[in-house]
Chains A and B, each alone.
Chain A
Amino acid sequence: MFGGKIVLFQKTKELNAKITEFLNNISESAIVFAKAVDDYLLNGDSDEFASLLNNMASLEARNDQLRRNIETELYEHTLIPESRADVLELLEGMDKVVNMFEAQLYQFSIEKAEIAESLSPLYLELVESTVSAVEALVRSVRAFFINPSEINDHIHKVMFFEKQGDMVGTKLKRMIFDDKKMELSHKIQLRMLCDDIDAIADLSEDIADQLSIYAIKRYL
């Protein structure tokens, strides 16, 4: 029985380390995404871009593995029974963020969309808002695990950056469709790129909304 408690100590430590690594990887994937898009806008589908895409793919694979491990351990050792379902939902949502980053970079790599220099600053601004929303989300999830009273300090930033992303996205789409010389198919392709990047910020906002409910439940 007491041996079981010592094992539980070790397991808790390991699990905490895995959750920290999982969140670090999401933070890192946001940085890699920003760098990759920046590189694509400057140099197109270059070697540097391909290497960043590979980096993103390995982060995504590692996080899938971590998420499965964490889920299995939470169930095997019946840990945090009252918040387990919430934590699993949270981790799955966070995992989707990295999946979307990766999918977006593949989209750049496969479609090789031509982006006019005039549009680049707005794409960069959109990426910046999205990455900021994800980083604020990661901070709020860390707070959920460590100090729930700090969650709200970060959640409102997720909302702010998501809204900013919406504004930039609208501006960008107007600019695309106001261009008289561009083919409609090209316009649609660029609009989809814009929508897909914005969708990552939207997902961050959805997770942040869920997180605020989980935090209230923990306080009750």
Chain B
Amino acid sequence: MFLFYLSSGLFLGWVSGANYMGNVFGTALGTRMLSFTSAAIICAVFIVLGAVYSGGGTAATIAGLGSVATMSGAFVVALAAALAIFFFFFLGLPVSSTQAVLGGIIGWALFVGSEVDFSILLQILASWVASPFLAALFAIILMSLVKTYLKYFPIPLLYQDLYIRIALVLTGAFGAYTLGANNIGNIVGVFLTSSPFKDVTLFKDVVFSAERQLFLIGGLAIALGVFTYSKRLINMIGKKVFLLTPMAAWVVVMSHSLVMLLFASQSLHEFLSEHDLPTIPLVPISSSEAVIGAVVGIAILKRGRGLRPKYLGRIAMGWVICPALALVFAFVLMLLKAFLPPL
């Protein structure tokens, strides 16, 4: 029965996989610097690794937002989010699985009259507003640094091409890892409190925790989405919003990854708190917001030449409508819940 309920989480993982691939490798594939197969393999492998090894922090935030204590509730939240993302996929728009899940949780909470932890909600909302700006800022700084470096230490055209390719692979892998770490909470975070998995001991002393087992399953669902479902969004991010040079594509992926890391790194969080510095909340942020923010940062550097506001507007609208849609879906699904088998 748990697997039946988890299936909606896996469905969510699958549709999110397309989004993630578009966000991490969309710009690189748009510049034709990498082949789809290589990018998909790197993306899938590192998303799973990130989810399993570093997925704890943000999943706890999602679980703490509004404890979806029942299995059927978790099922409804994940299904509502997945359906909302699926809908936007057909419009060819990259939306945030984080935002969709949040919409789903609030829809569920409104229906059952459960309390939503507004302090966490505010923290998440504030991070969503901050992350695209932060990504744009990172992109502007990185691009300016790269340009200045190349002015004083020019790299021959063919070698530049080679180094950018390698950098795109490494940064893409890093991006996929941070994305897996940051966003696995969206996919299976709502199942954490109701998961029946038990810790398993492997090779005598290696403990494979129940939480990680859940993250591994979620990660594999995302990986499947990466391979089967992502080409349309790649075209949107890589070609339609703003045509990037390979160098700018690398800057976008790097800025995106840095922002994801800031909001997902438990070690950074611990380091800052140990040194009495202001901490960055461990919040699952939207990778599509980070990517689009970075792309806009590059466009600002080029004084807006080549930016297509029409597509940008459609994407931004998606960020608002998608969570609202997930909220409505969750509410409607809860109405239909009577037809679901009891746990």
Contact = CB atoms under 8 A, between A and B. Distances in A.
Given A1-B38, A220-B302, A80 B31 contact: no
Interface in A141-163: 144-149
A214 to B, nearest CB: 10
Contacts of B107: none
Contacts, number: 53
Nearest to B305: A220
Interface string B155-171: 01111011001100100
Contacts of B151: 149
Given A8-B162, A149-B151, A220-B245, A82 B157 contact: no
B156 A145 contact: yes
A16 B157 CA distance: 9
Contacts of A145: 156-158
A78 B32 contact: yes
Interface residues of A, number: 24
Contacts of B321: none
Given A78-B32, A81-B31, A15 B38 contact: no
B314 to A, nearest CB: 25
B165 to A, nearest CB: 7
Nearest to B165: A8
A16 B154 contact: no
A9 B245 contact: no
A220 B41 CA distance: 31
Interface string A1-21: 100110011001001100100
A36 B170 CA distance: 54
B33 interface: yes
B154 A149 contact: yes
Nearest to B147: A219
Contacts of A144: 157
B157 A81 contact: no
Nearest to A5: B166
B31 A79 contact: no
A83 B31 CA distance: 11
Contacts of B159: 12, 16
Interface residues of B, number: 22
A87 B158 CA distance: 11
Nearest to B42: A1
Contacts of A19: 158
B33 A81 contact: yes
A205 B4 CA distance: 71
B246 interface: yes
A16 B156 contact: yes
A82 B28 CA distance: 12
Interface in B145-187: 151, 154, 156-159, 161-162, 165-166, 169
Contacts of B169: 1, 5
A80 B161 CA distance: 6
A145 B154 CA distance: 10
B239 to A, nearest CB: 13
Nearest to A150: B154
Contacts of A218: 157
A78 to B, nearest CB: 6
Contacts of B246: 81-82
Nearest to B162: A12
B158 A80 contact: yes
Contacts of B161: 12, 79-80
Interface in B62-82: none
Contacts of A220: 245, 302, 305
Contact of A16 (B33, B158, B165): B158
Contact of A146 (B31, B35, B42, B156): B156
A78 B36 CA distance: 13
Given A1-B38, A220-B302, A15 B165 contact: no
A80 B156 CA distance: 11
Contacts of A80: 157-158, 161
A148 B147 CA distance: 12
Contacts of A147: 154
Contacts of A15: 158
Contacts of A78: 32-33, 35
B31 A82 contact: yes
Interface string A206-220: 000000000000101
A4 B35 CA distance: 12
Interface string B31-52: 1110100100110000000000
Interface of A: 1, 4-5, 8-9, 12, 15-16, 19, 78-83, 87, 144-149, 218, 220
Shortest Cβ-Cβ A-B pairs, 10 listed: A81-B32, A147-B154, A80-B161, A12-B162, A146-B156, A145-B157, A12-B158, A16-B158, A79-B161, A145-B156
9 contacts: A5-B166, A12-B161, A78-B33, A78-B35, A79-B158, A80-B157, A82-B246, A146-B156, A220-B245
Given A1-B42, A81-B33, A82-B246, 12 more contacts: A8-B165, A12-B159, A78-B35, A80-B157, A81-B32, A82-B32, A145-B156, A146-B157, A147-B154, A149-B151, A220-B245, A220-B305
